[in-house]
Structure 1
Amino acid sequence: MTDMSEPGRAPGAGSPDGPADARAEAARRAVVDEVLARLGLRAKARLLSGSGMWSVGPEPDAGLGRLVFSDGPAGVRGEAWTPEEPSVALPSPTALGATWDAGLAHGAGLLLAQEARRKGAHAVLAPTVNLHRTPYGGRHFEAYSEDPELTGVLGAALVRGLQDGGVAATPKHYVANDSESDRYTVDVRVGTRTLRELYLAPFERIVRTAHPWALMAAYNSVDGTTMSEHDVLNNGVLRAEWGFDGVLVSDWTGARSTLGCARGGLDLAMPGPDTVYDDHLVAAVRAGRVPEETVDALARRVLLLAARTGVLDGAPPAVPAAALPAELDAAHTVRALAARSFVLLRNEDGVLPLDLPHDGPGPPPRGPGASGAVRRLAVSGLAAAVPRFGGGGSAQVFPEQLDTPLDALRDALPAGTELAHDPGPDPRTRLGAASSDAGFRLTAVLYGLDDAELARAPQRDGSVRWMGGLPGGVPLADLGRVELVGEFTPEDDGTHRLAVRGVGHFRLEAAGRVLYDGELRPEGEDPAAAFLNPPQQTFLLDARAGETVPVRLVHPVGVNGAAAGFGLVSFELGHGAPVVPDEELIERAVRSAAEADVALVFVGTTDETESEGVDRDRLALPGRQDELVARVAAVNPRTVVVVNAGAPVLMPWRGQVAAVLLTWFPGQAGGRALVDVLSGRAEPGGRLPTTWPAAEEDVPVRQVTPDSDGQLPYSEGPYIGYRAWRRGPRGGPEPAYWFGHGLGYTDWYYEALHLTAPEPAGDDRGDGRGDGDPYRPAVEAVVRVRNAGLRAGREVVQLYLGPEGPERKLAAFAVVEAEPGGTAEARLTVPRRAVQEWEPTSETWQPVPGPHLFAAGRSAADIRLTARTAAQRPD
């Protein structure tokens, strides 16, 4: 039995755990104070701005080395945003949320720390602990869950893992950054109870229990004040109440006012060097508008972060090199994590696991649950061959090797087993990057302002993306233009499509002709959206198979690119093969499925429909994917649909297919993990971290766009996710799948639920203002379950608090495992915070009088046992 409700902290996770840690922390702080005392105002102000896109310092006079940040949270990209410098790609945060396993989250943090050290980064911008307020949020895939308890527990575990590895975690985006529309300017209007009980709750748990060394302020405003300047939430709640002693860093370009940020507690403005701090802050101090003591407080926290991460001379790092954890096998870790995240939504007649071989040690997993030998497998859907392994935007990394489902299946099948693949219609409206598989050989050539060649960089594909630095160390100010040059040798005769994607002026030449010479302009004013989701224009090129044609794409950079402060160059040459009519592609897939033992249909979202920088306008699968599934299912009763999406999608065919398996964005090892699960070598261990709707009109919270005043009211209050569905009228629409739902390859019987209330701590007044520990146990529960099936299995035991209805909420959870016929006990700790509610009038947490009803089950709607506490209130 493994208890995952709230694991203990490991040494090195933040605040001192014992005498030795306390002495080391005191030594760090003493060095910080000594450095601060000898610095002048201008030197202290320089510490508060980035020195580049990703770094702070170096400042030799302060003994400060170069402190490097890197994007996360599904990998560590480092300072280079290019396929030429690959990273380990982890499953998306929604996948991690689906594991419901704090131990796995801690392991993911350890792997992120390992990657950060390899990449030379000292702080990772992760985890994202905003909530799934609505499935229309464009960055839904980057957050864990709709529930603050699940989000907080997993987020805290990942923070511990990162910092146990000596790397600073940076939970983000503080706070209420739950959608993308007008995210720079939107003013979220939210009641204090809702803010406290939902959106602040994961951050509070993480700060109080995992002690992150940094935290990121969101772009948006809350109740009229932008978060980089929010004195009440930053200095009042975060620091004074919760005890946060780390660095509060702006989201990139999120610092807008010198006085507002300094008074609002923002320690670090990124990127740099041109920020609202530095000389602007020095002038404000000398004019008497900002006390120098304020600058000292901000600089002290930046120096403390440097000390903890080992880049401040004379200060012992929080985790010495000798205490670093053992290196993880990255390939094994991401593969196991992916399999544990897959959610089996439907499995009629035990069609899964299939009788497929596997590539691991030991005998094939035949026996109980296997559905019969598969001699012919029909695979359809573009996502089988071109899967989305991760979400778009700042979470994107480039893996060195990507296991596609199609390749993994082909590798696993023995001789004599047939596999046919038909891609079906392409659901994308934009062309993907030109690739070597399609016949392109490309090089990026950098030219100076005087037209002299400065450097060359071989390209893995047609995507050119550099941020903060250029190949060959070319100075940003010297760059005049970039040319993507090479050749294209097509495999097929016909009319190929070439595309230009980016912002600015472009000239595209192919086969001696100019296909385009013009300007591409972004929509809207969000600079990040222009970078992450730029426009694309497509052109036609007739070509013969095997005949090589020259290709050249010219992009003048100038002041609109590299000189904009980011050192940003980003554009893409796209390609599409000659078009085959969609109807013919569907017919091919249907014919193949009709002759197969099992039909696997892969469907999913695209980078156009799920990405940072833009919210979703519909939940339906893009293109004709729904039609593909329905028509394949009509000819093969053993149709298994694999859903490759980071957020809920509508599945109107779900009742017509034998099985539905959700793989999220599974990271670089998703293909092999899928074979593990399909063959039964691994059980699909995931449970839904968010509720999936059956129809668009049923979604209870839909608004992501601010009103004409720029305000986005959270008028639904605390009722999001499963609580919102419970709030609807009796007999109203049900979701397709409830929060917590997920099937395995065995059955579980819930035998008993026992509750005990430990004695309150004698020195714990619990007055709601930080006196006492809100995460000490209020109720301890033991749930005994029995594996009633024929296979070993894993169960996620979920404990809910409150009566049936919208007030019932997740209170604790645990992962257990048992052999067939075996029993397991899930020991769950319900924290005191779960039996409190925020009282807006007194602005304190108040206990909810008992007795309290607890319900244990397999999802928010599948309750197996209930029990009440004694009449006295637990806290």
Structure 2
Amino acid sequence: MAGTQSTTPADQAREAAVEAALGKLDLDAKARLLAGQDMWTLPALPEVGLESLVMSDGPIGVRGVRWTADDPSIALPSPTALGATWDPELARRAGALLAQEARRKGVHVLLAPTVNLHRSPLGGRHFEAYSEDPYLTGLIGAGYVNGVQSGGVGTTVKHFVANDAETDRFTVNNVVSERALRELYLRPFELIVENARPWGIMTAYNQVNGVTMTEHHHLVNEIARGEWGFDGYNVSDWMAARSTKGAIEGGLDVAMPGPRTVYGEALAQAVRDGEVEEAKVDEAVRNVLRLAARVGILENAEPVVTELPDAIDGEALAREIARRAFVLVRNEVRDGNSALPLKQGTVALIGAAARDARVLGGGSATVFPPRIVSPLDGLTAALPEGTLTYAVGADPNTELAVADKGFTLRAVCRDTDGNVIGTGNAPGGQIQWMGNDLPEGVTHDTLHTIELTGTFTPRESGTHTFGIKGVGAFTLTVDGTTYYDDLQLPADTSDPFEAFFGSPVPHGEVELTAGEPVEVSLTYVFQLPEGIPFMVIAFALAHQEPRRDADELIAEAVEAARNADTAVVVVATTDRVESEGFDRGDLALPGRQDDLVRAVAAANPNTVVVVNSGSPVELPWRDDVAAVLLSWFPGQEGGAALADVLTGAHEPGGRLPTTWGSLDAAPVTRVIPADGELPYTEDVFIGYRAWAKEGRTPSYPFGHGLGYTDWTYESVQVEGTTVRVRLRNSGERTGREVVQVYLAPADAPGLDRPERLLAGFAGVEAAPGESAEGTVEIPRRAFETWTGGEGAEGSWSFVKGSYEIQIGRSITDRRLTATINV
């Protein structure tokens, strides 16, 4: 068992149970265990007392094995928001809550956290990762993993490794130097192994330096298992495993999903044909059994956690994380008064996302919360009656969305003779049935059609657009008229998950009257989509409300802003800007939102803009408004948290986990492969490292964030590699400060090293006039660089010499310095 971390008697007892179970399994059973039996589970093996292992997506919530709003889950803020808290302990609490959710849903392993880096702001899945900095990412990720596993639920740290963009993600070969791999992209995984001992990793779709990650012996076996001592299981990203022999020899333990994978019968046959050593299979099975023992589903093995943590209030924690994550990047002071918190008076709330909040990113991170508190909901509850007005202003949604508000739908399943064989709920107008997750009485063999049927009650009069999301034969009928009866073909894409994440297609415009319900029906002829080796049914009814003239909407918002003491404008991205499966083409806010902000700011100088996006967007008007607050994707309680922060009940606690700037100035922007390759030519210079090297000024620097009080940095004391910073709350409110410590090597240019690196951080709290001390231990790795090549040809080099320790509020706002010689 090379690389295992067994140290305690309990660990050793679990290992003995694992070995006993392994010894009772024949080749076919072992091979079957390594292949998913369906979308989310591994098979049970009753002969050794092994229950079926259940996995679930889990970055912000635990969806479970059903993709439906009928099975709701707590939705926490996005990973970028959690990264913005700069608080590993808060991440641990988030993880503990998700473990509680997982146990409620019968889930043993979460497919999270995502610890890829924000290499480029154009990365479409940027919102699902924490930061551009590997050290901050690693510590937040370790907090999350420790929290989840403290609740007896496993984690799967992903996507190992260099899965930092979405374009051609199944086939791209990312060409990365060993130094960049070691110092940047592997570093968060290494920190999590070191500090949290994760029970799993997920290997990515992409290749790294010519080898697909599900077969990467060097990175998986030699580094993760060998050098780091990782002893968990290694599961493929869904459909990433491509070769039986290559995967098993490359260290892949589980090929998901099933039942058709490169393992199972194919693996057993490869052993019988002499292509694969059975010892390789045993090692993979051993890793899976160890996971099963840890989560408590292997007979005669005591789980790691026998006493569960205290129950957590999910709504309260979601609200706390959101407000602690909000980053106040601008707060103009006029006549001694800052724009925020809001002063007494009237407020004009403006923006489509203020009413229909975007609380999470698209793709596999999707969950269905039991409720969503929008900014309009939150401010209506928090402000005195009669002081708040609302105007749409500008709607960024230029395409249809899955049917939601106003729809009451159910699914009716029929056989080839038209007989009803089963029915099911269909909240949200979306069907995503995976594996055998079908309504009672329905089987794939008997199913012929599924009809989404029910009523739609418009909230606005005018021309409503209806359409379809999915691939296959559909019939769409609204108010007795058929608008589509044909085959909807897939888009020109290499991504087999197009049916899940692709764009809806419009098919009919219908004049409707607000408050008057109409019958709607969408019928789908069942056929398993080609190219997906598991049973799945995925389609949706799509809808768009009447499109009003943009200039008219902006004019209404301007009038509302002119008549209010403060205008609060909520701008946002959409599912077609930030989601899994594609990268971004630019950093602009969609639609006419920039025009809206400019017009409102011209009408009311006291304009506050809330930016509802999971990753950087350009803010060309940022110097023309009174305040800018970044809310990320704030989770289900986002509107309540926003009211807390705008009214001053709580301080915005976030600091930027990644640099915000314009696309023209961004130093690393390439995410599109050429001839199948994406070279990481910037090497170790991404994020703030690259901005500094290129001498470019961002809109807002890494680490930046304002609160509602002021801080005076008084002194720094260095003992060895321990840094103690004394600071005082010199403002008028209790607050929290994130003390950031950067390390600047004196010889950086000579070794082509970044000007400065984040070496540590500490959160402190103090009342007005009080002092606090932040203590940071600088890790040895901060003084090291990777030299030479891979394996035995390369090594970590401790670079002796003089370093300046720079302490401050961001990477550019540095308040104290000290020198250290190592």
TM-score range for the pair, normalised by the shorter chain length? over 0.9
Map of 1:294 onto structure 2 = 280
- C-alpha change, 1:410 and 1:38, in structure 2 (3 Å) is same
Map of 2:388 onto structure 1 = 419
Equivalent runs, 1:336-485 vs 2, <5 Å? 336-349=320-333, 372-374=343-345, 376-415=346-385, 417-435=386-404, 437-438=405-406, 440-468=407-435, 469-472=437-440, 474-485=442-453
Map of 1:702 onto structure 2 = 669
Counterpart of 2:725 (choices 778, 783, 797) is 783
Letter in 2 for 1:610: E
Question: Number of paired residues?
Answer: 808
Equivalent runs, 1:631-780 vs 2, <5 Å? 631-693=599-661, 695-708=662-675, 710-729=676-695, 733-757=696-720, 779-780=721-722
* CA–CA separation in structure 2 for the residues paired with 1:79 and 1:315: 25
CA contact (8 A) 1:306 1:312 kept: yes
Name whichever of 489-498 and 141-150 sits farther off. 489-498
1:350 Cα deviation (Å)? Answer: 7.0
Matched, 1:836 2:802: no
1:59 Cα deviation (Å)? Answer: 1.2
- C-alpha change, 1:450 and 1:39, in structure 2 (3 Å) is farther
Secondary structure of 1:527's counterpart equals coil
Residues 171-207 of structure 1 deviation map (CA, whole Å, 9 limit, x = unaligned): 0000000000000000000001011000000001111
- C-alpha change, 1:449 and 1:354, in structure 2 (3 Å) is farther
Name whichever of 665-674 and 520-529 sits farther off. 520-529
Residues 487-539 of structure 1 deviation map (CA, whole Å, 9 limit, x = unaligned): 23434443222122212221101222210112222231101244212442241
* CA–CA separation in structure 2 for the residues paired with 1:188 and 1:213: 26
- C-alpha change, 1:752 and 1:412, in structure 2 (3 Å) is same
Map of 1:773 onto structure 2 = none
Secondary structure of 1:698's counterpart equals coil
CA contact (8 A) 1:352 1:370 kept: no
* CA–CA separation in structure 2 for the residues paired with 1:292 and 1:456: 46
* CA–CA separation in structure 1 for the residues paired with 2:257 and 2:336: 49
CA contact (8 A) 1:56 1:66 kept: yes
CA contact (8 A) 1:255 1:275 kept: yes
Matched, 1:177 2:163: yes
Matched, 1:44 2:30: yes
Secondary structure of 2:558's counterpart equals helix
* CA–CA separation in structure 1 for the residues paired with 2:645 and 2:212: 45
Q: Alignment RMSD, CA only?
A: 1.8
- C-alpha change, 1:570 and 1:506, in structure 2 (3 Å) is same
CA contact (8 A) 1:105 1:154 kept: yes
Map of 2:796 onto structure 1 = 845
- C-alpha change, 1:59 and 1:792, in structure 2 (3 Å) is same
Secondary structure of 2:160's counterpart equals coil
Secondary structure of 1:508's counterpart equals strand
* CA–CA separation in structure 2 for the residues paired with 1:682 and 1:35: 53
Counterpart of 1:142 (choices 109, 128, 136) is 128
Matched, 1:65 2:66: no
Letter in 2 for 1:342: F
1:426 Cα deviation (Å)? Answer: 1.6
TM-score by length of 1: 0.90
1:387 Cα deviation (Å)? Answer: 1.2
Matched, 1:857 2:805: no
* CA–CA separation in structure 1 for the residues paired with 2:513 and 2:335: 45
- C-alpha change, 1:284 and 1:399, in structure 2 (3 Å) is same
Map of 2:751 onto structure 1 = none
Secondary structure of 1:76's counterpart equals coil
Name whichever of 333-342 and 507-516 sits farther off. 507-516
Map of 1:11 onto structure 2 = none
* CA–CA separation in structure 2 for the residues paired with 1:190 and 1:491: 52
Map of 1:539 onto structure 2 = 508
Map of 2:303 onto structure 1 = 317
- C-alpha change, 1:153 and 1:489, in structure 2 (3 Å) is closer
* CA–CA separation in structure 1 for the residues paired with 2:458 and 2:609: 32
1:458 Cα deviation (Å)? Answer: 2.5
Equivalent runs, 1:804-823 vs 2, <5 Å? 806-823=754-771
1:62 Cα deviation (Å)? Answer: 2.3
Residues 661-704 of structure 1 deviation map (CA, whole Å, 9 limit, x = unaligned): 000000000000001101111100000000001x2211100110
Map of 1:798 onto structure 2 = 740
1:456 Cα deviation (Å)? Answer: 1.3
Secondary structure of 1:712's counterpart equals strand
Percent identity at matched positions?
52
1:16 Cα deviation (Å)? Answer: 6.1
Equivalent runs, 1:470-509 vs 2, <5 Å? 470-472=438-440, 474-509=442-477
CA contact (8 A) 1:747 1:788 kept: yes
CA contact (8 A) 1:353 1:370 kept: no
Letter in 2 for 1:234: V
Map of 1:575 onto structure 2 = 543
* CA–CA separation in structure 2 for the residues paired with 1:866 and 1:530: 54
- C-alpha change, 1:595 and 1:544, in structure 2 (3 Å) is closer
Residues 262-313 of structure 1 deviation map (CA, whole Å, 9 limit, x = unaligned): 1101000011121101111111111111111111111111111011001111
- C-alpha change, 1:99 and 1:515, in structure 2 (3 Å) is same
Letter in 2 for 1:528: F
Map of 1:364 onto structure 2 = none
1:79 Cα deviation (Å)? Answer: 0.3
Unaligned residue ranges in structure 1 (runs of 5+) = 1-13, 356-368, 758-778
CA contact (8 A) 2:172 2:677 kept: yes
Secondary structure of 2:534's counterpart equals coil
Matched, 1:157 2:143: yes
* CA–CA separation in structure 1 for the residues paired with 2:359 and 2:516: 33
1:373 Cα deviation (Å)? Answer: 1.2
Secondary structure of 1:571's counterpart equals strand
Name whichever of 96-105 and 514-523 sits farther off. 514-523
* CA–CA separation in structure 2 for the residues paired with 1:195 and 1:418: 54
Map of 2:95 onto structure 1 = 109
Map of 1:775 onto structure 2 = none
CA contact (8 A) 1:175 1:227 kept: yes
1:599 Cα deviation (Å)? Answer: 0.2
CA contact (8 A) 1:113 1:163 kept: yes
Counterpart of 2:524 (choices 508, 530, 555) is 555
- C-alpha change, 1:351 and 1:244, in structure 2 (3 Å) is farther
- C-alpha change, 1:236 and 1:176, in structure 2 (3 Å) is same
Letter in 1 for 2:794: E
Letter in 1 for 2:446: D
Residues 630-668 of structure 1 deviation map (CA, whole Å, 9 limit, x = unaligned): 000001011000000000000000000000000000000
CA contact (8 A) 1:446 1:481 kept: yes
CA contact (8 A) 1:523 1:530 kept: no
- C-alpha change, 1:539 and 1:834, in structure 2 (3 Å) is same
CA contact (8 A) 1:145 1:689 kept: yes
Name whichever of 489-498 and 838-847 sits farther off. 489-498
Secondary structure of 1:719's counterpart equals coil
* CA–CA separation in structure 2 for the residues paired with 1:352 and 1:838: 50
TM-score by length of 2: 0.96
Letter in 2 for 1:329: D
Unaligned residue ranges in structure 2 (runs of 5+) = 749-753
Counterpart of 2:291 (choices 305, 312, 327) is 305
